[in-house]
Amino acid sequence: MKAVLKAITPPVLVDVIRKLTPPARQTPVAPAIAAHRKAVGAGWDEIGPFQFDFLVSQGLQPEHYLLDVGCGSLRGGVHFVRYLEDGHYYGIDAQQWLLDAAREIELPQAGLADRTVHLLCRDDFDASSFGVRFDYALAQSVYSHLPWNSIYRSLVNVQKVLKPGGRFYATFFEDQGGQHKITPFHHERGGRITYPDQDPYHYEFDVFEDLARRVGLQVAYIGDWNHPRDQKMMVFRQPE
């Protein structure tokens, strides 16, 4: 070894180092955002981990069963699938192509192709065919796109599949005026404009209190959870 080192003169060493050093990295051209990611809104890398971290902070454990309501192409789903025990993640969405993209692109890309992931395409939120009662459910950026009647339908159907004591977290754009504004509302954080009667919708929280009463759930306001687009959080609870 000593003999070898002796034989390496400085110029040779420089040459060796040059050969071993990879060429300067070129700045990669940003790839176009895939349509199935775009379709669930901006911030794939931000909103995915954000919703995951939140549910874990609320007590989600690997052994729990989770229903992802309006799961889309699994922006949050890939993180839940990785964390939960195999087969404990269930997603329901109205758009089959988003579920297909999740299964064919996102899960393999995340190294989760071998996991058991239950995905169902329905637009009425009826998850009863899964045959499972859930500890947790989540609707991230779903009620912001839905009118009152669709939210009502979703609550009726989620209530049927929540375990006693089960919790359903849902985000919404809040009309903070306190007067059921029928004018558009500009959200400082995120810059979105929301409406009382068109997508994206805003609601006063007491609308959800009324809905919860109608379907036999309890609801609590969580409010600001630092969502980058100013969506607020609430939690519905199945009575014990």
Ligand X SMILES: C[S@@+](CC[C@H](N)C(=O)[O-])C[C@H]1O[C@@H](n2cnc3c(N)ncnc32)[C@H](O)[C@@H]1O
Can you give the binding site for ligand X, defined by CB under 6 A?
A: 40-41, 47, 70-72, 75-76, 92-95, 98, 123, 125, 140-142, 145, 150
- The candidate with the shortest Cα–Cα distance to 152, out of 164, 170, 132, 166, is 170
CB of 123 to ligand X, least distance (A): 4
Nearer to ligand X, 70 or 166 (CB): 70
Query: Which three-class secondary structure state does DSSP give residue 29?
Result: coil
CA gap 211, 155 in Å, rounded: 8
Give the closest residue to 108 by CA, choosing from 84, 69, 73: 73
Min CB(68)–ligand X separation in Å: 7
> Least distance (Å) from ligand X to the CB of residue 92?
6
* E strand residue ranges, 140-198: 162-174, 185-186, 193-194
Residue closer to ligand X (CB basis): 8 or 38: 38
Instruction: Choose between 64 and 79: whose C-beta lies nearer to ligand X.
Output: 79
Burial class (CB in 10 A: 0-12, 13-18, 19+), 80: buried
Longest CA pairwise span in the chain (Å) = 87
Between 125 and 205, name the residue whose CB sits nearer to ligand X: 125
Q: How far is the CB of 119 from ligand X (least distance, A)?
A: 12
- Phi first, then psi, for residue 46 (nearest 5°) are -100, -50
CB of 114 to ligand X, least distance (A): 23
Nearer to ligand X, 68 or 204 (CB): 68
